[in-house]
Amino acid sequence: MKKSGRIMVAVAVVVMMALSGTAWGADIELAKKSTLEQILQKGELRVGFEAGYMPFEMTDKKGNFVGFDIDIAKMMAKAMGVKFVPVNTAWDGIIPSLITGKFDIIMSGMTVTQERNLKVNFADPYIVVGQAILLNKKHEGVVTSYKDLNDPKFIVTSKLGTTGEQAVKRYIPKCTYKSFETETEAVLEVINGKADAYVYDQPNCVVIMAEQGAGKLIFLDKPFTYEPLAWAIKKGDPDFLNWLNNFLRQLKNDGRYDRVYDKWIKSTDWYQNVK
C-alpha cells in the first residue's frame, strides 16, 4: 500500500509539472500577443480620442491636440519610452476602431458602462464625474433639479451616443429630447432659446458656463449621476491592463496627476488658447 501510494504521488507530481509547464507556455504566448508588446516593438503609442470634449481633448489655436487626456497620454508614452501618436476619431466609431486595431487605447473621457464593458476592457477609473445641467436663463428659480424637467413641455438636448443622452432617457424620460452631433450644437440650442436644458458631463458644463454662459445660462452644477471615466483597451489583454493600472497608481501618487488636474479641471487659464 505504501509503495503504491508513493507511486501515485509521484505520478500526480509529474502531471502537475506538465500542466504547470503548459500553463506557463500559454502565459508566455499571451504576453507576446499583448498590445503592450506591439507598442514597444513599433516604438509608438497610438491613442484614440475625439477632439472637442473640453477640457479632456481639444484643438488649440495652432492646431495642436491639448487637454487633460492628451497630457496623460504623453506621460504614458514617455513612461513606455515610445512616441505619442494621436488618432482623432469620430465618437460613434471609436470602439469599433479600437477593436479593429486603428489605435492601441481609447483615452477620450469615456464613461465606464456595462454595455461598453461587453466590448472592451477598462483600466481603473482615473476620474469620476457625473451629468449636470445647463438651463436657459428663463427657467431661473423655476427648474431646480433634473426632476423638474421630466415633462414633455421641456426640450432637453445632449450629444448623440453619450452618457448624457443615456441619462436623459433614463432619468428624464418624459421630456422632449433632441440629440446633436456635437456638444456645441446642443448648447447653442439652449442659448438661442430653442431648447430648455442641456445635459452633459459636469467638467464640460463648467467649461461652457465659464466660456459663454454668463447672462445666458443657469448652471445646476450638482451631478445627478455617478460616472467613472477610464481608458479602454481590447479585451483579453491582462498584461496591458496590469501596466496601465500600475502607471495610474504611480501617476496619482507622485504629484503628476495633481498637476494635470489643477491645470485642466481647476483652472480656466487654457480657455484663451483654444478659442
Cell numbers linked to 92:
460613434
pLDDT tens track for 25-56: 556 676 778 999 999 999 999 999 999 888 89
Neighbours of 174 (CB within 10 A): 11
| Percent of the chain's residues with pLDDT above 90 | 72
Superfamily covering domain 38-128+228-274: Periplasmic binding protein-like II (3.40.190.10)
* Whole-structure pTM value: 0.71
**Preceding omega of 55 cis (within 30 degrees of 0):** yes
Q: Where would I find the H helices in 55-193?
A: 68-80, 94-99, 114-117, 163-171, 183-191
The CATH architecture assigned to 131-225 reads 3-Layer(aba) Sandwich (3.40)
Does residue 163 register a pLDDT over 80?
A: yes
CA-angle at 54, arms to 126 and 104, nearest 5°: 50
Q: Which residue has cell 501596466? A: 243
Tell me the C-alpha to C-alpha distance, in Å, between residue 38 and each of 46, 110, 169: 11, 23, 40
Torsions phi, psi for 129 (to 5 deg)? -130, -170
pLDDT class of 13 with cuts at 50, 70, 90 = very low
Least confident of 38-42, 52-56, 165-169, 190-194: 52-56
- Strands 131-136 and 217-220, by their bridges, are antiparallel
| Most confident residue range from 12-21, 39-48, 210-219 | 39-48
Q: Residues 77, 70: contact at Cβ < 8 Å?
A: no
Q: pLDDT value at position 204? A: 87
Q: pLDDT value at position 37? A: 95
Q: Residues 172, 146: contact at Cβ < 8 Å?
A: yes
Does residue 1 register a pLDDT over 60?
A: no
Where exactly does CATH 3.40.190.10 map onto the chain?
Answer: 38-128+228-274, 131-225
Q: What is the CA radius of gyration of the chain?
A: 24
Does residue 146 register a pLDDT over 70?
A: yes
Least confident of 6-15, 96-105, 175-184, 216-225: 6-15
How many residues are present in the chain? 275
Does residue 19 register a pLDDT over 60?
A: no
In this prediction, residues 180-189 reach a mean pLDDT of: 95
DSSP string, 18-59: HHHHHHHHHHHHHHHT-HHHHHHHHTEEEEEE-TTBTTTBEE
Q: pLDDT value at position 221? A: 83
* Rounded CA separation 165/60 (Å): 27
Identify any residues that bridge with 66 across adjacent strands, giving them in sequence order: 58
DSSP E strands in 91-168: the ranges are 105-106, 120-122, 127-129, 131-136, 155-159
Q: Among residues 51, 49, 69, 90, which one has the least CA distance to residue 265?
A: 69
| Mean pLDDT of the chain, nearest integer | 89
